[in-house]
Structure 1
């Protein structure tokens, strides 16, 4: 049993938020550098990125959020350069791509619904990491590239990354033309949330093979 009390200063997690996004925002809420935050609390950022269950559970307790949700939408590092995310197995380079995508409408809503600054409020959702996901079902808005960073620590320090682009997101500069949802979009959403169903397509693995 892990005995950890929630931090006095914390920020509510967003539905489907990844652990790395939540940790970055939690560190910012406590006015601490992300690396120092992890060191002081015994949850190194790399172990959060690896999806280690005990580390994500501690992070969830510190932030006062649901650890099972954080785990489901964050991904777990496996042997053989693979990652598990939402019950599916992917090559690491597809889930840990240098490019981070997102829905600008979701991000604008994050900013408008919080008293904190936009870069402290905007959160990365786990399903945005799945290469097959190309659209936000809530807003019918295509996912757009937010930033590209080859260095993992910098890539996933979301508060730092959003600091330079949040004003443009709020101003609508990342907005694109909405498009109609396809049956595949809806099927994939259901699979990521509830797991495979009983149809023929559900028997197939969601794997992007490495070249």
Structure 2
């Protein structure tokens, strides 16, 4: 167990949690942290059980809570979250998408953690979810900058542009969370709509795509 730890956020991915631990323990990047801890960051990304167990031990968190929102690599093309199958094209694994208002709220809530306070939500990885359900803010995609290190080093990435991101909270861009986004979020959490059995029977990504084409849930 590490002396310096961070709380596991609701809906937080293991990759985000790992990145936050690395930053809070003053590592230059998440890869160095993982190397010193005897795991590989790619193992965390892929949902390797032994790596996630080690991460849970280091962060002193319940393994079931940590793995609930893990992204498991099932093949070169497909991943799964909570048993829902998604192709790589339906996920934004190499881009960081965030709600600026959530980042600001996290930092205010856990002020003593500094930039290790904000955490990445699993729903931000899903391409078809483009709005924050809490703040109604459109999700913002961080630009690709090689100098910021590994694309999934969440804390390191947002630290570089935190002020610019949170400034967008004042832009008044709030919009309703769409019915499709509500459906996908509930289904991802294991609570699919009971009155849409035909849609629930479809793979997650196929249901999302169909609804986007038809324009309704």
TM range (shorter): 0.7 to 0.9
For the pair 1:9 / 2:4, whether they are aligned, the reply is yes
Higher helix share: 2
Q: Unmatched 5+ residue regions in structure 2?
A: 210-217
SS, match of residue 39 in structure 1: helix
Considering only aligned residues, what root-mean-square deviation do their CA atoms show, in Å? 2.5
Partner of residue 32, structure 2:
36
Partner of residue 214, structure 2:
none
Find the aligned partners of 1:175 and 1:79 in 2 and give their Cα distance.
Answer: 41
For the pair 1:66 / 2:50, whether they are aligned, the reply is no
For the pair 1:110 / 2:106, whether they are aligned, the reply is yes
For the pair 1:128 / 2:124, whether they are aligned, the reply is yes
Find the aligned partners of 1:101 and 1:183 in 2 and give their Cα distance.
Answer: 20
Q: Unmatched 5+ residue regions in structure 1?
A: 1-5
How many residues are paired up?
A: 204
For the pair 1:163 / 2:156, whether they are aligned, the reply is no
Aligned 8 A contact 1:27 1:37 in 2: yes
Find the aligned partners of 2:178 and 2:50 in 1 and give their Cα distance.
Answer: 38
Q: Per-residue displacement from partner, 1:43-72 (whole Å, max 9, x unpaired)? A: 211100111122112111211223223222
Q: Which residue among 200, 205, 210 is the counterpart of 1:207? A: 205
Find the aligned partners of 2:82 and 2:150 in 1 and give their Cα distance.
Answer: 24
TM-score by length of 2: 0.83
Instruction: Name the CA shift for 1:117/1:172 in 2 (closer, same or farther; >3 Å).
Output: farther
Higher strand share: 1
TM-score by length of 1: 0.85
Aligned 8 A contact 1:21 1:124 in 2: yes
Aligned-pair CA distance for 1:169: 2.3
